[in-house]
Structures are given as structure tokens and as C-alpha cells.
């Protein structure tokens, strides 16, 4: 019986490989080494749950992976082919011997007890494979009294609304949709307290975050057994992915961190890691910003902005940010219906362009910032008139507008170059 332990700061996963080569999860939590040593001897590995169950491998639970193979087969049977450990990174290679597919469950240990996890899939079949659902992580969490904290919202001013709830039997889904600004609807973070209401200075807590700016989905599947299956990944809704022969698909990364000293200790450890590893110049203080939007909206000229720059310096702020409305030479950006995509200064509004504003900011010792939204376009713009095929859309369908604007298809190379 092969055992595998992946941990950071003592917390992480414990696995067994059973006699048929299937990957079984034997533990997920803090003090994982001690947990694995405490497991009763003689228990067959087959009695432990599958660590990354594909469709039809565990009919009683939602699958971590669901694909349609090149010959139309919809079931997948994964077996451990190899375990690779290179420094802080561990990869468990799973293969389907009947429908050649390589699924590598990857882990990377970080400082401060942070563990990153993701999955890569390579198609070794002669035809294309369709990926329907691919979890970045799907651990089974032992818990008798699971309490979930998640952060939802309903657009401006309601984002990051905090909800803490007891998970009853069934499946709780926390997801975001729409593709644009998903963080306003449901932030890609959650907190799980397995032993009761989360406390600030005591108790066990688990934080999970998906490093992904698009649509996300977390599901928390609880049966009457004392456990919860946590499915984490990009939202598979209307997002099937065709994987060509020889091609590889890589999920976003799921970030885990545990604490046995309450939410406060967990937060501090996670914040230290974010400052050191996840954020540019994370230990530097951010500038104090004055933004003209609330003062002027779209209605400004050079003189008014110069006065605001002077006020910025007088207040002791460090950066003046010129917001929406400075561009649109042919289609002036005087409201939100026109001009997006035409990133030329509107000299009717700002004679001489941005130069006088930047010079005043420099004179007063204030940094100068500029608002842009380069992935969007208004139909009332030169860019749209010249490049109708650059927007996200479908044949025979009028492109969907949101706030008088359309989304540019940055998967087209020429669009990416423009942005």
C-alpha cells in the first residue's frame, strides 16, 4: 500500500493508493502527519473515499471530473501511474487505461502554511475530448458541525456581504456568473469551520480561495455522514472545453490554508503570504488617491481638473486619478453611451491633451493616474464601426449589451494586440 502526504505548515492531504491503483483520500486537515500515523492499521485502502472521483466512479456524489471521450464514452476510470516530487511540488499522475487521458493532480507547498493545488489534463486520444467539469480541488472534509462563511453581493455597495451558515445535508452552491466583474456577485473565497461557529481566537478553520478572475463555483456536498465534499473550480456552466489530441488543459489554482487557533491567526498567515507571494510590492504602502469621479462625473475641463490636482496636493494625498470621460475625439465621452474603445484624448474638453494636467501634478509632487477600460467598447465608437467582428458574440445574434457597451474578444490575436 503506497501512502502520499502533501503538507505545508503541517496541514494538508494524506492519500493511499489501493490495490487497483486508485487514489484514495485518507485525510485533509491540520497535523496531517500525526493524523496518518493515528489511522488504525489493517483498514483496506478501498474503504477510504476516492480523492478525485471521475464521473461514474462514485455514483453517490458529484464528480470531480466529467468528460466525453473522443469515441463518445462518458465514463472515466482513473488509475495512479506515477507520483513525482520535485522540491516543493508534488504531482500525482492519473491515467485512464481504456480511454487514454492523463490527469495530474498537482500541489505546491508555500510559506506560512499555504498549499496551492490545481489539475492538468492531457488528451492522448486520436480525437478531441470535451471537458464538461474539471475541479481544481475536491477534498472530502471530515466535519460534524460544518459552518460555511462566504461573501456574496448584488452589485455596487452590496459586494462582500458576509454570510455564515450551518451546512445541512444536501448541496450548497456558491458561484458567480456573467463573466464580467464576478467579484461583485460572489467573491472567490470561503471559510469553513468544521467544529462549529467560527471563532476569532480559537478553533479550527479552513480558508479556500480560487486564483481566478472569471466565473467561479464552489459546492459543499453534505450527506448524513460526518463529512463534506468541497468542489472548487472555474464555473463549468456553458463552458465546455474541447481538448484537441495532444493538448493540455490546466485549471485555475486553489489556495488552502488551515488554522487551529481561530480565524484571526488564519487571516494573518494568509495576509503575510499574499503580501510576499501574490501581490506586487506587497509590503509597500499604497498611495492615498484622490479620484475626480465623485466631484465631476463626466463634466470637467482642464481648469477644473487643475484645481482638483492642487486640492490633492493640499490634502497631502499622493496620487490624482483622472477617471472616465477624458477620451473620445470623434465620439465624445460625455456620458456612458459613447466613446469606449476610442482611446484618444477629447481635446474639445481638454485642449492641449493630458500634458498640462501631468505637468501640474509633477509640479505639486503628486503622481498622475489614468482610468481605462480597454476590454470594452461602445457601439457608438470608431473602433466598433471599423471592427464589428472584434466583439464577443454569436452568428445571427445581436451582441448582448451591458451598460451600453460590448465586450471585446481578447482571444483574437489582433484584439489582444490592440488591448
Q: What is the pLDDT of residues 285-320, one digit of tens each?
A: 999 999 999 999 999 999 999 999 999 999 999 999
Q: Phi and psi (nearest 5°) for 323?
A: -90, -160
Q: What is the DSSP annotation of 203-218? A: B-EEEEEEE-SS-EEE
- Structure confidence at residue 183 (pLDDT): 67
User: In the chain, what percentage of residues exceed pLDDT 90?
Assistant: 86
- Structure confidence at residue 124 (pLDDT): 98
Q: Please check the confidence at residue 94 and state whether its pLDDT lies above 90.
A: yes
- Structure confidence at residue 155 (pLDDT): 66
User: In the chain, what percentage of residues exceed pLDDT 70?
Assistant: 98
Average pLDDT estimate for 155-178: 88
Spell out the domains of the chain, with CATH numbers in brackets: 62-278 (2.70.98.60), 289-418 (3.20.20.70)
Q: How far, in Å, are 85, 117, 327 from residue 133 at the CA level?
A: 27, 16, 42
3-state secondary structure at position 268: helix
- Structure confidence at residue 20 (pLDDT): 94
Q: What is the DSSP annotation of 323-389? A: -S-SB-SSS--SSTTB-TT--SB-TTTSTTTTHHHHHHHHHTT-EEEE---TTEE-SBSHHHHH-GG
- Structure confidence at residue 73 (pLDDT): 97
What is the helix, strand, coil percentage profile of the chain, to 5? 20, 40, 45
- Residue 158: Cβ within 10 Å count: 11
Q: Please check the confidence at residue 1 and state whether its pLDDT lies above 70.
A: no
Confidence of residue 327 (pLDDT cuts 50, 70, 90): very high
Q: Cα–Cα distance between 139 and 144 in angstroms, integer?
A: 16
Nearest to 214 by CA among 185, 235, 189, 232: 235
- Helices 355-363 and 302-315 sit at what angle, rounded to 10 degrees? 20
Q: Please check the confidence at residue 180 and state whether its pLDDT lies above 70.
A: no
Min mean pLDDT across 113-127, 144-158, 327-341 is at 144-158
pLDDT digits (tens, 9 = 90+) for 107-139: 999 989 999 999 999 999 999 999 999 999 999
Q: Please check the confidence at residue 105 and state whether its pLDDT lies above 90.
A: yes
Confidence of residue 224 (pLDDT cuts 50, 70, 90): confident
pLDDT digits (tens, 9 = 90+) for 7-21: 999 999 999 999 999
Average pLDDT estimate for 166-195: 87
- Structure confidence at residue 364 (pLDDT): 98
Average per-residue pLDDT for the chain: 94
Confidence of residue 61 (pLDDT cuts 50, 70, 90): confident
Amino acid at each position: 500500500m503506497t501512502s502520499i502526504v502533501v503538507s505545508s505548515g503541517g496541514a494538508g492531504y494524506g492519500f493511499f493508493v489501493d490495490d487497483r491503483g486508485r487514489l484514495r483520500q485518507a485525510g485533509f486537515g491540520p497535523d496531517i502527519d500525526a493524523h496518518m500515523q493515528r489511522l488504525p492499521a489493517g483498514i483496506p485502502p478501498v474503504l477510504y473515499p476516492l480523492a478525485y472521483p471521475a464521473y461514474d466512479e462514485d455514483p453517490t456524489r458529484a464528480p470531480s471530473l466529467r468528460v466525453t471521450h473522443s469515441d463518445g464514452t462518458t465514463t472515466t476510470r482513473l488509475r495512479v501511474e506515477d507520483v513525482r516530487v520535485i522540491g516543493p511540488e508534488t504531482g500525482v499522475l492519473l491515467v485512464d487505461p481504456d480511454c487514454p487521458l492523463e490527469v495530474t493532480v498537482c500541489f505546491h507547498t508555500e510559506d506560512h502554511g499555504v498549499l496551492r493545488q490545481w489539475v492538468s489534463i492531457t488528451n492522448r486520444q486520436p480525437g478531441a475530448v470535451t471537458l464538461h467539469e474539471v475541479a481544481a480541488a475536491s477534498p472530502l472534509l471530515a466535519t460534524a458541525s460544518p459552518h460555511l462563511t462566504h461573501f456574496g453581493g448584488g452589485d455596487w455597495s452590496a459586494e462582500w456581504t458576509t454570510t455564515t451558515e450551518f451546512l445541512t445535508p444536501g448541496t450548497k452552491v456558491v458561484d458567480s456568473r456573467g463573466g464580467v466583474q464576478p467579484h461583485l456577485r460572489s467573491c472567490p473565497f470561503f471559510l469553513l469551520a468544521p467544529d462549529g461557529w467560527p471563532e476569532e481566537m480559537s478553533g479550527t478553520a479552513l480558508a479556500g480561495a480560487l486564483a481566478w478572475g472569471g466565473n467561479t463555483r464552489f459546492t459543499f456536498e453534505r450527506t448524513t455522514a460526518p463529512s463534506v465534499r468541497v468542489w472548487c473550480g472555474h464555473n463549468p456552466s456553458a463552458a465546455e472545453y474541447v481538448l484537441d489530441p495532444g493538448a493540455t488543459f490546466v485549471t485555475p489554482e486553489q489556495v488552502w490554508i488551515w488554522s487551529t487557533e481561530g480565524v484571526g491567526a488564519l487571516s494573518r498567515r494568509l495576509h503575510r503570504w499574499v503580501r510576499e507571494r501574490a501581490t506586487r510590492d506587497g509590503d509597500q504602502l499604497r498611495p492615498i488617491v484622490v479620484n475626480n469621479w465623485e466631484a465631476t462625473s463626466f463634466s470637467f475641463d482642464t481648469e477644473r481638473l487643475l484645481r482638483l490636482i492642487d486640492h490633492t496636493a493640499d490634502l497631502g494625498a499622493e496620487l490624482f486619478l483622472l477617471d472616465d470621460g477624458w477620451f473620445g475625439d470623434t465620439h465624445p465621452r460625455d456620458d456612458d453611451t459613447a466613446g469606449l474603445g476610442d482611446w484618444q484624448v477629447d481635446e474639445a474638453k481638454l485642449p492641449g491633451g493630458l500634458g498640462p494636467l501631468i505637468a501640474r501634478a509633477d509640479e505639486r509632487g503628486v503622481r498622475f493616474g489614468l482610468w481605462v477600460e480597454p476590454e470594452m467598447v461602445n457601439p457608438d465608437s470608431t473602433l466598433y464601426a471599423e471592427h464589428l467582428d472584434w466583439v464577443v458574440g454569436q452568428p445571427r445574434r445581436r451582441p448582448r449589451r451591458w451598460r451600453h457597451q460590448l465586450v471585446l474578444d481578447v482571444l483574437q490575436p489582433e484584439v489582444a494586440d490592440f488591448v
